[in-house]
Amino acid sequence: MTEEDPYLWLEDVTGERSLDWVRARNDESAAELTGTERFAALRDDIREVLDADDRIPYVRRRGEYVYNFWQDATHPRGLWRRTTPEDYRNDEPAWELLLDVDALAAAEDENWVWQGAAVLRPGYRFALVELSRGGADATVVREFDLDERRFVEGGFELPEAKSNIGWIDVDRVYVGTDFGEGSLTDSGYPRIVKEWRRGTPIEEAVTVFEGKPEDVSVRGSHDPTEGFERDFVTRSLDFYRSERYLRTAAGLVRLDVPDDANTSIHREWLLVRVKSPWQIGGAEYPSGALLAMKLDAFLEDGREFTMIFEPDEHTSLEYYTWTRNHLLLATLSDVKTELHALTPSNGWRSEPLPGGTALGAAEILDTDPDVSDEYLLNTSGYTEPATLTCGEVGGTTEVLKQAPAFFDADGMSVEQHFATSADGTRIPYFVVTPSGSEAGPTLLTGYGGFEVSMTPGYSGVTGRSWLARGGTYVMANIRGGGEYGPQWHTQVIKAKRYKVYEDFSAVAADLVERGITTPARLGIQGGSNGGLLMGVMLTRYPALFGAIVSQVPLLDMKRYHKLLAGASWMAEYGDPDEPEQWAYIGEYSPYQNVHSGRDYPPTLFVTSTRDDRVHPAHARKMMARMVEQGHDVRYYENIEGGHGAAADNEQLAFKWALVFEFLWEKLTAS
């Protein structure tokens, strides 16, 4: 399609004309959806969940302290704080305040949003704190003294950019940032990594590695494990392929593994998770396998790996993490979590780790691999609030915290079903049904991209806003995710992308066939790549749905690679500037496939001005085109919020109330 885009002017993110258009659309949506007592009650209910004082304060251990970032009604921008592991076990720990982001924002008249901190190890005295304006991906970086509880005057500091920065030691960091013209990739991330010494201007930082403009990014990192100190450079060729180098006195030494494999190093061990079948050392390893070898042996041309995890038709490796002496694996068996502890000193002997759930998820949140075999485990299910447990491999477990129940789940059922996609593939999905609900309003969600697995878990917001009102909730585990390993993803990228949409539509049809709902009472919601999924459902399968919410979406796939971080996703979708690739992208690109004279379900687009990952123009232009064509559509754009479309709990509560109110109104109207 070569016609000129009449709405290109909406790509001017903060232009006066664009923002006037945004404010007008916001006012229209607010007038339609927010003026009732029901909306106000829903918003307040969600805010109560988000700000609840009895939520679990999740922590990460760094040295002798555990650290937490906390937001509530009194501190909407949040508090960074710490306490001892012993005191954390108390119902009301004695928190030591490190940084009050609300006070900082007020003092500096800036809209600061917390984006995390990297604490120097060993020693744990200094941290590199990242803050963004309005929740954007681009951050400012400032060095923070944890003992003095203040920013370090004259310390490491970076202006706003999409930077990579990490400690080498107390006086040196690896840094990649906007050094000026030519220093960023086409995707807007660092192309150059440098070593920067304390007390010197960044202009004098020494270049360690330069990537190419078409790369996604490069970064440097340091492993400070005592006795195993090493430095690395990682060059991300695209979203899934990378080269990893060991930095030595003689120069960079590339780790000779497939560029689509994931590698990690812990103490003496090299781990390789292969995404494509790999032949090496006289053996062939399947996609999704996890391999181990001692690093020194590999660097000396050793090629005989031990396969410590082998996938099968139903089971895949979700993630792994180390304790001091053990490797912890989390696997998915038909999207249900199982945990295992492997011990290298015993020939990689595997033993079950307590914590897996039948229809829920178990996530290892933190370990301290320098000193202990302890781990923090969080478990939950759709109707079971989270439980935080501290365990020790081979030892006992202790419940540390229990989250409150935010809705009455009595009588609710959770089931897993399988739909059959157009090519015969079985697609799993979970259904959460309130007591006595038959063919009621149903909300279906999914993602289907970037090897992201969608696993069960408790949501007080969804529970109160949907389930407690009598709505049925459905999560589809469509291809494009990682629920069944890398091939569940790779078989639907680029030219095979259409299978993602066939999967989701198959789940929608199966829900109706089973009598769970009807098309008029079936709503769908998704964000980012899931927002693209919603856009395709709108334009290709409109008869299946009664209402659609598309959040922070990609929609104009003709120009996605020219907008913000879009170029980094061409490994997923393809290059629309290549005619043979645009031939298949153009078949589903929502912006090019919405037409007048067709019946589409009521639709809501939600995005954020400050989203510097997925450009808000995707939603803006789609909205403008649909209004021009006379469709039933509305729009809300938060002026703050980044890719999450909200900068604090007040904004988050408003956003979700808008989404759930729209869906409830449309799906219960008939």
List residues with catalytic annotation. Answer: 528, 643
**CA 243/CA 563 separation, integer angstroms:** 26
**CA 424/CA 206 separation, integer angstroms:** 55
**CA 212/CA 367 separation, integer angstroms:** 36
Q: What is the CA radius of gyration of the chain?
A: 25
Beta strands 426-433; 397-402: pairing state: unpaired
Record the tokens describing residue 611, joined without a space: 């989203």
**CA 327/CA 268 separation, integer angstroms:** 13
**CA 195/CA 30 separation, integer angstroms:** 50
Phi, psi of 74 (to 5 degrees): -80, -30
| Closest by Cα among 75, 56, 51, 76 to 66 | 56
**CA 130/CA 165 separation, integer angstroms:** 10
**CA 388/CA 338 separation, integer angstroms:** 17
Record the tokens describing residue 467, joined without a space: 């389930």
Strand (E) or helix (H) holding 88: helix 85-88
Report the residue count for the chain. 670
Beta strands 251-254; 603-608: pairing state: unpaired
Q: Is 427 in contact with 419 (CB distance < 8 Å)?
A: yes
Q: Is 472 in contact with 441 (CB distance < 8 Å)?
A: yes
Angle at the Cα of 494 from the Cα atoms of 493 and 497, rounded to 5 degrees: 65
**CA 299/CA 280 separation, integer angstroms:** 14
| Closest by Cα among 530, 634, 545 to 590 | 530
**CA 83/CA 647 separation, integer angstroms:** 26
Q: Could you count the other beta carbons within 10 Å of the beta carbon of residue 84?
A: 13
| Closest by Cα among 412, 462, 407, 453 to 432 | 412
Beta strands 397-402; 387-392: pairing state: antiparallel
**CA 448/CA 482 separation, integer angstroms:** 9
What SS3 state is found at 107?
helix
What SS3 state is found at 528?
coil
Sheet holding 327-333, edge to edge: 315-322, 327-333, 336-343, 349-352
| Closest by Cα among 141, 64, 52, 150 to 100 | 150
Record the tokens describing residue 451, joined without a space: 């090897």
Q: Going by C-beta distance under 8 Å and a sequence separation of 6 or more, which residues neighbour residue 251? A: none
